[in-house]
């Protein structure tokens, strides 16, 4: 199976770099890579936001803030590659052609952002489209897509299945400023929709659950209806 995993910066770097989690994720990916081709797109997380906020103090443009966010996501990609070791790409590819080559060489391909104007969710959807992935997993620090923000509302309900249109409806009220994409960015939804990419949202901290989702068993998360 060819799998693209978008791993939210919010789990890699919640406040500080979560070395313990990154180590566990690396082992999980190495196990998963026997029998599967794995591409990972890492987010920028707190690191991106810290630097973007600092750049805003100097009235930097949104595009420059985006570039700073891309650098942060690439730094996280390097760290995850280091944790995985020899089976991972050393240099995070910045173009999809190179990413695909690495994947076809049998490497666990780890990359960050590419261009301003979207988030690493957009990158993962474009990459999934380009490499013809069988599955796109969007992993964050919550269990999937909820009817309201689960960090604020205890009664938020997990949506088990959603259409791309429904997803777009939920995210359209959110900002697309650098460093502030909520849930998933609009570009990612458009790409998932146009190529009917099999996509699931789940909690990136629960490896057992992720394994269930990959092997077609019942899992906790949100599935995007094609």
- DSSP-based three-state secondary structure for 6: strand
Does position 61 bind ligand UTP by CB under 6 A?
no
Check: CB of residue 72 under 8 Å from CB of residue 80: no
Does position 44 bind ligand UTP by CB under 6 A?
yes
Number of shown-chain residues binding ligand UTP (CB under 6 A): 25
Exposed (0-12), middle (13-18) or buried (19+): which is 155, by Cβ within 10 Å?
A: exposed
Max CA pair span of the chain:
50
Question: By Cβ distance, which residue is nearest to ligand UTP?
Answer: 69
Binding segment toward ligand UTP, per CB under 6 A, in 29-37, 100-108, 175-183, 194-202: 175-183
Check: CB of residue 127 under 8 Å from CB of residue 99: yes
Integer Cα distance of 148 and 7 in angstroms = 21
Binding segment toward ligand UTP, per CB under 6 A, in 7-15, 81-89, 149-157, 214-222: 7-15
- Distance of closest approach, residue 174 Cβ to ligand UTP, in angstroms: 10
The strand pair at 222-224 and 161-162 is best described as: parallel
Q: Which lies closer to ligand UTP via its Cβ, residue 45 or residue 186?
A: 45
- Distance of closest approach, residue 93 Cβ to ligand UTP, in angstroms: 12
Does position 179 bind ligand UTP by CB under 6 A?
yes
Instruction: List alpha helices for the chain, DSSP H.
Output: 9-12, 19-32, 45-57, 62-84, 96-104, 120-131, 164-171, 186-194, 207-214
Tokens linked to 33: 């890579």
Does position 138 bind ligand UTP by CB under 6 A?
no
- Distance of closest approach, residue 57 Cβ to ligand UTP, in angstroms: 16
- Tell me how crowded residue 140 is: count the other CB atoms within 10 A of its CB: 22
Integer Cα distance of 120 and 204 in angstroms = 15
Integer Cα distance of 188 and 164 in angstroms = 10
Does position 73 bind ligand UTP by CB under 6 A?
yes
Q: Which lies closer to ligand UTP via its Cβ, residue 87 or residue 94?
A: 94
Taking CB under 6 A as the criterion, the residue among 3, 83, 108, 114 binding ligand UTP is 114
Taking CB under 6 A as the criterion, the residue among 120, 193, 199, 209 binding ligand UTP is 120
Q: Looking at the chain, how many residues does it have? A: 226
Taking CB under 6 A as the criterion, the residue among 38, 48, 133, 137 binding ligand UTP is 48
Binding site residues, ligand UTP, CB under 6 A: 8-10, 43-45, 48, 65-66, 69-70, 73, 113-120, 123, 178-181
């Amino acid at each position: 199976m060819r799998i693209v995993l978008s791993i939210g910066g919010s789990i890699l770097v919640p406040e500080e770099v979560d070395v313990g989690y990154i180590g566990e994720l690396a082992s999980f990916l190495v196990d998963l890579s026997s029998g599967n081709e794995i591409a990972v797109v890492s987010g920028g997380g707190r690191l991106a936001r810290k630097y973007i906020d600092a750049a805003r103090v100097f009235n930097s443009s949104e595009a420059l803030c985006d570039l700073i966010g891309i650098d942060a996501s690439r730094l996280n990609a390097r760290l995850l590659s280091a944790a995985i070791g020899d089976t991972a790409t050393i240099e995070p590819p910045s173009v999809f052609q190179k990413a695909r080559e690495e994947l076809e060489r049998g490497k666990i391909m780890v990359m960050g952002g590419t261009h301003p104007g979207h988030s690493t969710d957009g990158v993962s959807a474009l990459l999934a489209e380009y490499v013809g992935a069988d599955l796109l997993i969007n992993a964050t620090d919550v269990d999937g897509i909820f009817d309201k923000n689960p960090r604020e509302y205890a009664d938020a309900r997990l949506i088990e299945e959603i259409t791309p249109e429904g997803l777009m409806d939920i995210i359209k009220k959110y900002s697309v400023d650098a460093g502030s994409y909520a849930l998933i960015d609009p570009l990612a939804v458009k790409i998932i929709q146009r190529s009917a990419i099999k996509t699931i949202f789940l909690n990136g901290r629960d490896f057992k659950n992720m394994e269930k989702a990959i092997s077609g068993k019942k899992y906790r998360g949100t599935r995007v209806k094609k």
